Amino acid sequence: MFIYLDNSASTKPSKEVIEAVQETLCSVFGNPSALCGPGLAAERLLKAARVDLARTLSCSPSELYFTSGGTESINWVLRGVWKARKRRGGRIVSTAVEHPALINCCEGLREEGAEIVLVEPEPDGRIEASKVASAISPDTILVSVMHVNNETGAIMPLSEIRKAIDASGSGALFHTDAVQSYGKLDCDIRQLGVDFLSLSGHKVHAPKGIGALYIKSGIHIPAFILGGGQEGGMRSGTENVPGIAGFGAAARRIAERREEDLELIKKARARLLERIKSDIGDIRINSPEDACPSILSMSFMGCKGEVLLRMLDSEGICVSTGSACSAKKRDSEVLKAMGLSSFEMEGALRFSFSYENTPEEMDYVADKLRDAVERQRSLMRYPKG
């Protein structure tokens, strides 16, 4: 048995992605900047993938730049806006529950003189638009709020935040890290109201090392990598053509099947949650009720998440204790910001789903999880007394 429930860390490449990558490696090997036939074929492939991706965001292909992933896109926006606008003002508003890619980039900018204001989450993990509004000052140059949190699945109120930015009169730009929402929720740029949006391929069944950044037409930030002038001179370096082919194939599936795939995800999550609630006592659901269906965070009191993870792993079930990036740290910064106690954080597990998971698999997971929790609780003599 092998059941993969760590899809927020990375996903298994889909059949159509593997085919697209393989086909590209075998026959589209030219340099997209070259003028010979193979080069032109590679250039055509890039153009088609950009169109496929743009269709899923309702933006223009010319507003999309391929990058190496979510981390690069986020760094480009933050560093780019800071460089372009620091003379206008020094404040960047974000949240305490962002991915380390953003938090650590902000830390670097703080050392360069930026004033970083991180809005704290509500106890359920969501960010209140009114609190973001209060943090925006006349000298705010950028507001960056993730679309979906990678540990809890909390969905952030982006369109309300857009309104708050407009009402503030600050002229601040608006970025969202849509790495976890893309492919699950509607990421129509016009609805979200953002000026920048970061994406990562490996969270949507495309390869690792490919991502994209949307930059609204008319907004100017400096180029991120200088060199041969690829990606409109904004991000030089010979393009990752096989990765882009895979990302394009993933985007086509998103355009055609997002809602159907989301139904499968919802069914799997609902079955697991229902079984855990009926079979295991003393739990805490850390995800908000209306979380993105691909993520479920829970704490099992009296257990250590790490030990549960290993017990499940030995049964062929892959889960995580939090985000992959913070797996080696003791406490989750996100759960801590939500006010969970150390005891509650210790027993946390994150289940993250894909359209490949089935309700039958979830029954197996629930059985093994119940046994693992019971075994651990009896070893820890929980509950005491």
Q: In this structure, are residues 133 and 168 in contact, taking their beta carbons and an 8 Å threshold? A: yes
Task: Out of 36, 59, 105, 325, pick the active-site residue.
Answer: 325
User: Residue from 85, 91, 99, 258 that binds ligand PLP (CB under 6 A)?
Assistant: 99
Q: Report DSSP state, residue 358.
A: -
Helix segments in 157-240, DSSP class H: 158-168, 189-192
CB of 55 to ligand PLP, least distance (A): 21
Q: Report DSSP state, residue 136.
A: -
User: Residue from 53, 101, 161, 362 that binds ligand PLP (CB under 6 A)?
Assistant: 101
Distances, alpha carbon 101 to alpha carbons 86, 179, 332, 343, in Å: 21, 11, 15, 27
Q: In this structure, are residues 77 and 67 in contact, taking their beta carbons and an 8 Å threshold? A: no
Using CB under 6 A as the binding rule, whether residue 70 contacts ligand PLP is answered as yes
CB of 74 to ligand PLP, least distance (A): 6
Number of neighbouring beta carbons within 10 Å of residue 66? 26
Residues 290-329 binding ligand PLP (CB under 6 A) are 323-325
CB of 182 to ligand PLP, least distance (A): 10
CB of 102 to ligand PLP, least distance (A): 7
Contact segment (CB under 6 A) with ligand PLP among 68-76, 156-164, 250-258, 294-302 equals 68-76
Residue type, 318: C
247 or 355, CB closer to ligand PLP? 247
Q: Rounded to whole angstroms, how far apart are CA atoms 219 and 212?
A: 16
User: Residue from 13, 69, 183, 207 that binds ligand PLP (CB under 6 A)?
Assistant: 69
User: Residue from 7, 14, 56, 200 that binds ligand PLP (CB under 6 A)?
Assistant: 200
Using CB under 6 A as the binding rule, whether residue 126 contacts ligand PLP is answered as no
SS3 196: strand
Distances, alpha carbon 267 to alpha carbons 5, 52, 64, 273, 293, in Å: 14, 28, 33, 10, 9
Using CB under 6 A as the binding rule, whether residue 376 contacts ligand PLP is answered as no
Residue 106: which of 9, 177, 202 has the closest Cα? 177
Using CB under 6 A as the binding rule, whether residue 71 contacts ligand PLP is answered as yes
Residue 91: which of 110, 105, 111 has the closest Cα? 110
Residue whose C-beta lies closest to ligand PLP: 70
CB of 323 to ligand PLP, least distance (A): 6
140 or 323, CB closer to ligand PLP? 323
Active site annotation includes 325? yes
Contact segment (CB under 6 A) with ligand PLP among 13-21, 172-180, 293-301, 336-344 equals 172-180
303-323: b (≥16 Cβ within 10 Å) or e: bebebbbebbeebebbbbbbb
Residue 133's H or E segment, with its range, is helix 129-135
Residue 268's H or E segment, with its range, is helix 241-279
144 or 168, CB closer to ligand PLP? 144
Using CB under 6 A as the binding rule, whether residue 347 contacts ligand PLP is answered as no
332 or 376, CB closer to ligand PLP? 332
32 or 322, CB closer to ligand PLP? 322
For ligand PLP, how many residues bind (rule: CB under 6 A)?
15
Catalytic residues: 325
Residues in contact with ligand PLP by the rule CB under 6 A = 69-71, 99, 101, 146, 150, 177, 179-180, 200, 211, 323-325
